[in-house]
């Protein structure tokens, strides 16, 4: 499996949710060419979430520099997704992002941030960064998927 970094939002005392890539972005892509496969993340509670007012979870993708330290521009497509299971919106399940494309050549990462929606608004809970994506004209038109895990349960994407 491709390694990536994950973390809690600043000021977070402990992790309430785990977020992992099920289908990662491609390793290389042409500028402006939509990714062949959707980016999919799995979200699971870690222990018993302390905030009982959470009504549902939402995930948002952003483009980061190769180092992951700052935001980059040029990501296009569906950038926000509800976390869903077969039973609808949920606090455990999957978020899908399709179609995504990156407009400018360079080396980037995709960050997926998890937000918890409650009656008082949305709070960022967790994030995960992808491996580096090399955006260049010489990339294959159709990307091969990176290795990913398939869960054998009732909650497949």
Could you give the angle at the alpha carbon of 116 between the alpha carbons of 25 and 44, nearest 5°?
60
Domain-embedded: residue 12: no
**112-124 residue pLDDT tens:** 999 988 888 888 9
Domain-embedded: residue 9: no
Q: Mean pLDDT in the chain?
A: 83
Q: What is the pLDDT of residue 145?
A: 62
Per the structure, the complete domain to which residue 88 belongs is given by 20-135
Residue with tokens 């980061």: 64
- Provide the whole-model pTM: 0.80
Domain-embedded: residue 42: yes
Q: What is the pLDDT of residue 22?
A: 93
Distance CA 12, CA 8 (A): 6
Cβ-Cβ contacts under 8 Å for 124 (sequence gap 6 or more): 9, 113, 114, 115
Tally of domains within the chain: 1
Decide if 2 contacts 147 (C-beta within 8 A).
Answer: yes
Encode 9-47 in three state secondary structure: CCCCCCCCEEEEEEECCCCEECCCCCCCCCEEEEEEECC
Domain-embedded: residue 147: no
Domain-embedded: residue 2: no
Q: What is the pLDDT of residue 92?
A: 86
Domain-embedded: residue 48: yes
Residue 11 clears pLDDT 50, i.e. is over it: no
**Among the listed residues 108, 112, 111, the one whose alpha carbon sits nearest the alpha carbon of residue 27:** 108
Q: What is the CATH number of the domain that holds 117?
A: 2.60.40.3960
**67-101 residue pLDDT tens:** 999 999 999 999 999 999 887 667 789 999 999 99
Q: What is the pLDDT of residue 121?
A: 86
**14-72 residue pLDDT tens:** 678 899 999 999 999 999 999 999 999 999 988 776 666 777 889 999 999 999 999 99
Residue 9 structure tokens: 């939002």
Q: What is the pLDDT of residue 119?
A: 84
Domain-embedded: residue 94: yes
């Amino acid at each position: 499996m491709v390694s990536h970094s994950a973390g809690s939002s600043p000021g977070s005392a402990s992790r309430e949710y785990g977020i992992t890539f099920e289908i990662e972005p491609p390793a290389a892509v042409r500028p402006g060419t939509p990714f062949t496969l959707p980016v999919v993340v799995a979200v699971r509670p870690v222990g018993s979430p302390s905030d009982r007012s959470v009504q549902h979870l939402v995930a948002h993708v952003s483009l980061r520099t190769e180092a992951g330290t700052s935001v980059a521009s040029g990501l296009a497509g569906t950038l926000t997704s509800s976390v869903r299971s077969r039973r609808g919106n949920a606090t455990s399940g999957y978020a899908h992002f399709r179609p995504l494309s990156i407009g400018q050549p360079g080396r980037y990462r995709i960050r997926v941030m998890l937000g918890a929606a409650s009656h008082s608004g949305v709070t960022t809970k967790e994030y995960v960064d992808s491996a580096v994506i090399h955006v260049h004209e010489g990339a294959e038109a159709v990307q091969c998927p990176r290795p990913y895990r398939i869960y054998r349960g009732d909650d497949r994407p």
